[in-house]
Copies of this chain bind each other. A is one copy, B any other.
Amino acid sequence: MITLLAGFTGSGESLLNRSPWAENLPERVDRLIRTGRMAEAIIVMPDAFTRYGGSQYLNSSATGRYEDHLVREVVPWIDRRYRTIPEPRARAIAGKSSGGYGALVQAMRHPDVWGLVACHSGDMYFPYCYLPDFPKCLDVLAGHGGSVERFLRAWRRMPGRSESSLFPAINTIAMASCYSPNPRTRVGFDLPFDLRTGELRPAVWRRWLAWDPVQMVERYRRNLRRLRFVYLDCGTRDEYHLHYGARMVAARLRRLGVRCIFEEFPDGHANIQYRYDRSFELLSRAFARR
């Protein structure tokens, strides 16, 4: 069983989308099986989409308990319905981008559920992948009176909500709903900066950093050592600069004695579904190992 986590703004179902000249996920897996590169497997594609575009597969008072959903609902339900081997050694979790982040974090926190993990271009080193968006988010919010609520109301009325200039705002808000939820606020989460001056709020920013894999790895080293298989990769031209985070995580894993395959590839963040060819083949071999 391989649980495949979609990236930000995606969901399990979106992995079935057609795009020109490209396989969708079922076609890819069919080809890999047909050509003998991987054995047959149960592929689970959960839905953890939220009103802001994604949950990072964490529990949040702002959007829902997606970590629990995965571990307490999806996995047992699959085990009941399908012919699985209900043990960590037969359960892999994988994903790309926010899905890669989710996979790595799930594996760190639930080695009793997942025994194998493949993280492609996952969110890591938040000072490089998120912080540069903060002033851009502030600029977008300023266009709505500096109010998150007013911005969100306007955004929900937009016919195409995917305008690229708004992305830094949506992404920052979504991440705040995951990393710094706060039920005592009206929107349900704290932003990591002051809405007027833009200054970082150290206490909130520290809450975010506590969810940065670069910091988590040390804390979860014992769990990580229990994993059967850890795979990490990133493109060396990643537009969110995730290759730096990936190198930091890989270096720490090595230092902490966690076996890990770390690969870099000469590409960016988008259109890298072909990396599943690599991870699924390695996962398949790792499943087979005794």
Contact = CB atoms under 8 A, between A and B. Distances in A.
Contact of A241 (B14, B198, B248, B274): B198
Interface size class of chain A, counting residues whose CB lies under 8 Å from the partner chain: 35 or more
A160 B22 contact: yes
Contact of A11 (B18, B160, B236, B272): B18
A155 to B, nearest CB: 9
A49 interface: yes
B17 A198 contact: no
A241 to B, nearest CB: 4
Nearest to A51: B21
Given A197-B248, A237-B139, A241-B135, A19 B162 contact: yes
A91 B144 CA distance: 42
B198 A248 contact: yes
A256 to B, nearest CB: 15
A236 B142 contact: yes
Contacts of A49: 20
Interface of A is mostly: loop
A156 B217 CA distance: 40
Interface stretch (A81-89, A104-112, A126-134, A218-226): A126-134
Interface string A152-176: 0000000111110000000000000
A78 interface: no
A200 B160 contact: no
A52 to B, nearest CB: 10
A267 interface: yes
A29 to B, nearest CB: 17
Contact of A271 (B18, B160, B243): B160
A53 interface: yes
Contacts of A253: none
A261 interface: no
Contact of A131 (B9, B131, B139): B131
30 contacts: A9-B19, A11-B20, A13-B18, A14-B17, A14-B18, A16-B18, A17-B17, A20-B53, A20-B162, A21-B53, A21-B161, A125-B198, A127-B131, A128-B135, A131-B131, A131-B132, A135-B244, A138-B241, A142-B236, A159-B273, A160-B267, A160-B270, A160-B271, A160-B274, A162-B271, A163-B271, A196-B247, A197-B247, A198-B241, A198-B247
Interface of A: 9-11, 13-14, 16-22, 49, 53, 125, 127-128, 131-132, 134-136, 138-139, 142, 159-163, 196-200, 214, 236-237, 241, 243-244, 247-248, 251, 267, 270-274
